[in-house]
Amino acid sequence: MAIGQGTVVMRLTARLSLAFFTISLSLVASPATANEATEGKAIFMKCCASCHGLTGEGNGRLASSLTTPPANLRLLSQRFGNPLPPDVIARYIDSS
């Protein structure tokens, strides 16, 4: 039985939120478990790092070919707090 696309997107979004936890909390203890952090990091590396860079600073290898430069995701916590609210971050991902 095939899984609906919406379900896949929602699951991916939840895992990506964990990627942000991992990245943004690299200086502070993370509430995510080690497995979740590893999984989130893998998704970030596969789906996001090409533009946002390996450390999320916006310096990925595709960055120079984009008209709008990728955001420095490490600054998100200045606006949204630390840990980042998963629902706010998920909205960014869903709307792009």
Which positions touch ligand HEC (CB under 6 A)? Answer: 16, 47-48, 50-52, 62, 66, 68, 70-71, 73, 76, 89, 92-93
Query: How near is the Cβ of 24 to ligand HEC at its closest, in Å?
Result: 11
Kindly list the distances between the CA atom of residue 61 and the CA atoms of 49, 67, 93, in Å, as whole numbers in the listed order.
8, 14, 20
If the CB atoms of residues 35 and 95 are measured against ligand HEC, the closer one turns out to be 95
Query: How near is the Cβ of 50 to ligand HEC at its closest, in Å?
Result: 5
Residue with tokens 């998920």: 90
Residue with tokens 């709008």: 68
If the CB atoms of residues 29 and 46 are measured against ligand HEC, the closer one turns out to be 46
Query: How near is the Cβ of 57 to ligand HEC at its closest, in Å?
Result: 12
If the CB atoms of residues 28 and 42 are measured against ligand HEC, the closer one turns out to be 42
- Residue 24 one-letter amino acid: S
70: left (phi over 0), alpha (psi -120 to 50) or beta: beta
